[in-house]
Amino acid sequence: MLYNTIFTATLLAVAMAQGPRACYQGSSGSAAPARDCASFINTFCDDASMGQTPVRIGDSTSRCFNLPGGDRCDFIALNTYTRAVSPDNNSCRTVLNDIAGRCPYGGFGQIADPAYTFTVDRNHGACSRNVQPGS
């Protein structure tokens, strides 16, 4: 009984330690797999975390990378934290590697709540001036 209680409490603590994450559902013809975007994660997170200009709460920093073959990878770090600071390098890598590894159409998530929300999304077409995530 005591063991069970401790075990349950541990599971709960582990579950709560991770912030909310979600995979995009995609539709027929949606660009996939987002796994191909994984090679850009380190570059995105390095750049985003070194940003000299603090990202205001509610603002975001984003980058787009072209994949060979005509698709692209859109990355976003949205400041859903409580302070105007740059995103954390390791949180960024952890969340994006998780999403790219298991969400065929990409998705978004947080290391904890509150914290930055990181998005990776594979889309059709080359990078242009605007990042367009969400499918």
- Residues 6+ positions from 2 with CB-CB distance below 8 Å: none
Q: Which is nearer to ligand NAG, 97 or 135 (CB)?
A: 97
Identify whether 33 is preceded by a cis peptide bond (ω within 30 of 0). Answer: yes
Q: Which is nearer to ligand NAG, 66 or 90 (CB)?
A: 90
Interface segment toward ligand NAG; rule CB under 6 A; list 42-50, 52-60, 72-80, 99-107: 42-50
CA distance 44 to 117: 14
Tell me which residues in 43-82 interact with ligand NAG (CB under 6 A): 46, 49-50
Residue 37 near residue 106 (C-beta atoms within 8 A): yes
CA distance 130 to 64: 9
CA distance 27 to 102: 17
**89 is a contact residue toward ligand NAG (CB under 6 A):** yes
Instruction: Report, in Å, the least distance between residue 106 CB and ligand NAG.
Output: 21
Of 90, 125, 132, 134, which lies in the binding site for ligand NAG, with binding defined by CB under 6 A?
90
Instruction: Report, in Å, the least distance between residue 92 CB and ligand NAG.
Output: 8
Q: Which is nearer to ligand NAG, 92 or 131 (CB)?
A: 92
Residue 79 near residue 44 (C-beta atoms within 8 A): no
Q: Which is nearer to ligand NAG, 51 or 70 (CB)?
A: 51
- Structure tokens, 51: 């940003």
User: Which residues contact ligand NAG (rule: CB under 6 A)?
Assistant: 46, 49-50, 89-90
